[in-house]
Amino acid sequence: MSFFNLQNNNILITGAGSGIGQETAITLSKFGCNLVLFDISEESLSQTLNLLDGQHKAYGIDLTKFDILPDIIKEII
């Protein structure tokens, strides 16, 4: 077993549609993580999903809209 094993860990990434968030998602998908991705742009999220290994959940939402967060957290769990 590797010292650095992230296989099957659940990780939430905000800003996953571009930049550091996207690169983090790509890297962690290669380590076998289960990812939940957030970004305000559904189009950018779609592009990110196409770059990932495995199947992951993605939500194109504005995280400043606090009223929708409880429902999304329930769905994720």
pLDDT digits (tens, 9 = 90+) for 21-72: 999 999 999 999 999 999 999 999 999 999 999 999 999 999 999 998 899 8
Sort residue 32 into left (φ over 0), alpha (ψ -120 to 50) or beta. left
Helices marked H in the chain — which ranges? 19-30, 42-50, 69-76
Predicted pLDDT of residue 76: 86
Q: Residue 2's pLDDT is what?
A: 60
Higher-scoring residue by pLDDT: 75, 50: 50
Q: In this model, does residue 4 exceed pLDDT 90?
A: no
Q: What is the structure's pLDDT at 3? A: 66
Over residues 2-31, the mean pLDDT reads: 93
pLDDT at 39: 97
Is residue 69 within 8 Å of 46, Cβ to Cβ?
A: no
